[in-house]
Amino acid sequence: MFSALSTALSDTFSKPLRSVMMRALGLALVLLVLAGFGAFYGLEAIPEFGADWGWPILDEVVDWLSGAFVIVALVLLLMPVSALFAGLFLEEVAAAVEDKHYPSDAAGRDQPFAQGLWIALKFTALLIILNLIALPLYFIPVVNVVAYWGLNGYLLGREYFELVALRHHTPEEARSLRRSKRVRVFSGGVAAAALASIPLVNLLTPFFATALMVHLHKKVTS
């Protein structure tokens, strides 16, 4: 596991993956900037937010709160939106890691774009919904770390291991393999969740998790 972690971390900053990351993060930032402008102008169009209340201080407070809400929302959406766009390139990431470290092994099968997009959308929605449900736990010291790493470790481990495994197995075989190696997969997912808990660094999570699961998949199937 430790060798897989160190190798995956090194892979994350390798030249092929840097190129993919720039594309995915660039698309995510463009979308969020457009969404931010849309939200600011949208709030101004709502009478309760854009109206003159007749009290300068109250007007400033309303403007400040609405602006702060948009900024916080964009920060919270940065990781899931980045993960969504990263999902469109993860086949490329997995292929690059396999070509670099396992050139003599059989090449994996790239999933169709539409299927990859659907998987990315489902996973992003699930990630957002379950984390919103668990949000109250994130305000309790100690419990928040256990809850965040536990929930997201399971989700990230399951999703990225099966994504990699599907390149070499049928969906049924991929799920069966993941369940039979659930401890290793969960451990890898927790490592990815730990990275995801660090602001800004968490943008690297999809790429690190994919590289890590490529190495774990090779180890458990060798």
pLDDT in tens, 128-150: 889 889 888 988 999 999 999 99
Q: Are 205 and 83 in contact (CB under 8 A)?
A: yes
The pLDDT tens digits for 189-205 are 999 999 988 878 888 88
Q: Which domain holds residue 145?
A: 2-221
The structural domain count of the chain equals: 1
User: What per-residue confidence (pLDDT) applies to 40?
Assistant: 66
177, two tokens: 């393999």
What is the pLDDT, as a whole number, of residue 162? 92
At 58 the pLDDT is: 57
Query: Which whole-number Å values give the CA distances from 53 to 8, 59, 103, 118, 204, in the listed order?
Result: 55, 6, 67, 45, 44
In degrees to the nearest 10, what's the CA dihedral of 160, 121, 195, 207?
60
Rounded to an integer, what is the distance from CA 4 to the centroid of its chain?
19
pLDDT at 45 > cutoff 90? no
For 221, other C-beta atoms within 10 Å of its C-beta total 12
Q: What's the whole-number average pLDDT of the chain?
A: 83
Range among 21-25, 62-66, 78-82, 208-212 rated most confident: 208-212
C-alpha 191/C-alpha 169 separation (Å) is 24
pLDDT tops 60 at residue 63? yes
Q: Kindly report the number of other CB atoms within 10 A of residue 129's CB atom.
A: 10
